[in-house]
Structure 1
Amino acid sequence: MSDQEQGQGQSPENAAGEPKKEKKQLSLNVVSHNKHKGGFGAGTIDLSQVACIIIDNGEAYIDAGAMHAKSKVERRIRFSTNKEDVPNGRLCWVVWVAVDRNEEGSYYAGATACPMLIDTEERKGWKILAQHVNNLDYALKRRYILDELSADEKKALRGLLMEHNAEWWANSPDTLKQALDV
């Protein structure tokens, strides 16, 4: 029997006997270095220059899982949009930090903070997803929204940014440095 008789080397056929058209797979490329000019895949957001920082109990640390709501503090937590559902929650923050590059070098180009309440024992949490999405967008648009952080939280974030890359901190705008000045 030949390959054609066995159906090998041919495109699958639909019920009408016509060759099936291969569908383009739509994938959500949120972290990518590819630049799209138009057509299929246009409009994807390049988040490769965004870092996720968690501030919990006065400690700031980088947690890439926050990009998909799977940070250390968010795992195994059922979230609600109603604060009253989490009466014993502790305040945690997701800080979106965008990094950009200019003639002086890389720098922290945008930073926005979003609150969450986490009750680890009850496995309950509160956050407003729309705020997290909007603040991520604001960080990408080179804005700084850090007003709601306490002095200790600002100090922890500043320390982490300086420790992570002192050169980026030095190249960052005064707007960021003033926002985190405690």
Structure 2
Amino acid sequence: MQKLSLTGKAKHQTDDQMKGLSAVLVDGDDIFVDNGAIHAKSRLEVGIQFVKSLDEVPNARHIQGLWITLKRQENGLGFTGAMPFDLWIDAGQKIGYKKLSEQVNNMDKAVRGMVDLSKLEPSLRMSIGQYLQKIRPDLWENASADFRHAFALDEK
């Protein structure tokens, strides 16, 4: 089973609000955690020059990102916040586009525990939810009700 390298810690609470933040990326059929995205250094972003307009990316491939946060719940550490973000990459030309202000705002919302997946297709929400449930069932079991409900998976 894949080890989920989340940035959350089970002990030693600190003032660092970003400690429980992770990034899940969806590139075609591939869903994976890449915490490098927190600092704009995901494996998809490295070596990419970001431009000011999507029109400047001729063969843009859409990558869906999701900021995910962890927080201690009644039963232990669990998923709490989830907010989407978008990347468009042309790997051949080594250029890409992203709305940085939207990424930062959604990152902040996820850190504060907000969940809004309304911009995602239902099938994508379900796929990401199944992925999260599979790789870390303990975090899924301890997730907030809002988090679990947003992914439209059957509740236990």
In 2, are the aligned partners of 1:97 and 1:109 still within 8 Å (CA)? Answer: yes
In 2, are the aligned partners of 1:51 and 1:64 still within 8 Å (CA)? Answer: yes
Q: Distance in 2 between matches of 1:175 and 1:107?
A: 12
Identity of aligned residues (%): 26
- Is 1:146 the equivalent of 2:114? no
Q: Which of the pair has more CA radius of gyration?
A: 1
Q: Distance in 2 between matches of 1:175 and 1:34?
A: 23
Q: How does 1:1-182 map to 2 (within 5 A)?
A: 35=14, 45-181=16-152
Unaligned runs of 5+ in 1: 1-30, 37-44
Question: How many pairs are equivalent?
Answer: 144
Unaligned runs of 5+ in 2: 1-7
In 2, are the aligned partners of 1:59 and 1:156 still within 8 Å (CA)? Answer: no
SS at match of 1:81: coil
Task: Report the CA distance shift for 1:59/1:149 in structure 2 as closer, same or farther (over 3 A).
Answer: farther
Q: Distance in 2 between matches of 1:105 and 1:134?
A: 27
Ranked by relative contact order (alpha carbons within 8 Å, sequence separation 6 or more), the top structure is 2
TM-score w.r.t. the length of structure 2 is 0.82
Residue 104 of structure 1 aligns to which amino acid in structure 2?
N
Residue 52 of structure 1 aligns to which amino acid in structure 2?
A
Q: Distance in 1 between matches of 2:119 and 2:75?
A: 30
SS at match of 1:134: helix
In 1, are the aligned partners of 2:23 and 2:33 still within 8 Å (CA)? Answer: yes
Residue 130 of structure 2 aligns to which amino acid in structure 1?
G
Residue 23 of structure 2 aligns to which amino acid in structure 1?
C
Consecutive aligned runs of 4 or more in structure 1 exceeding 6 Å deviation: 31-34
